Amino acid sequence: MSARLTRKFISSAAVCGAGFAIGALVMAARTGAAEKASTSWASKVVSWDQAKGPVADWGEIRIHFQGETFATKDMLTGIAVVKPGQAIHAAHRHAEEEYLVLTEGSGTWHLDGKEFPAQKGDVLYVEPWVYHGVTNTSDEPLTFVVVKYNGKGLTPPPRPNDGRPDELKR
């Protein structure tokens, strides 16, 4: 992961008004790679090479931090690189709030049953239990940052009793 891409992410997220996503990402990046946080973390930077995650036919995701922070539980931060014509998974839903920050490439956003163009610099916010996703519909890799969490002291909303699956079919 180049310093240039990191600077582009920070700039894009600020322009899009994703202040919380930036703050959460910075805090998470300083805490550790794919490790459970204790109640007293040590500040640090996690490099692209230190972050680990699955590599699959669709591309790869690097998990920079997963666990608990001062203000969040179930926190996950990472960077995904999705190959042309691919998606990590079909549109899905879950109890956590989530931000996706598109830093490179283009594709199609899926949000609450609608589809629309995804472009570099976009920030998607998803409230709990709303279907969402992104597909790379371009000829170039699509890179996004994910920040997903539940807040401490808050009970996540219950799963909707609508008989629908948590991941839609492709």
More confident residue, 145 or 43: 145
Instruction: Give pLDDT, residue 13.
Output: 40
Contacts with 30 (C-beta within 8 Å, 6 or more apart), sequence order: 41, 43, 44, 45, 46
Taking the C-alpha atoms of residue 93 and residue 164, their distance in angstroms, rounded to an integer, is: 10
Instruction: Give pLDDT, residue 44.
Output: 80
Residue 101 burial class via C-beta count within 10 angstroms: exposed 0-12, middle 13-18, buried 19 and up: buried
- How far CA 2 is from CA of 6, 40, 48, 66, in Å, comes to 7, 29, 8, 22
Instruction: Give pLDDT, residue 135.
Output: 98
Please answer whether residues 5 and 102 qualify as being in contact, where contact means their C-beta atoms are separated by less than 8 angstroms. Answer: no
- pLDDT (tens digit per residue) in 74-133: 899 999 999 999 999 999 999 999 999 999 999 999 999 999 999 999 999 999 999 999
Residue from 103, 94, 21, 35 nearest 64 by CA: 35
> What structural domains and CATH numbers belong to the chain?
3-151 (2.60.120.10)
Taking the C-alpha atoms of residue 51 and residue 35, their distance in angstroms, rounded to an integer, is: 10
Contacts with 18 (C-beta within 8 Å, 6 or more apart), sequence order: 99, 101, 123, 125
- pLDDT (tens digit per residue) in 46-58: 999 999 999 999 9
Instruction: Give pLDDT, residue 139.
Output: 97
Orientation of helix 3-15 relative to helix 19-31, angle to 10°: 150
Residue 155 burial (CB count, 10 A): 8
Residue from 97, 91, 94, 140 nearest 115 by CA: 91
Q: 14-28, 69-83, 122-136: which has the minimum mean pLDDT?
A: 14-28
Instruction: Give pLDDT, residue 4.
Output: 53
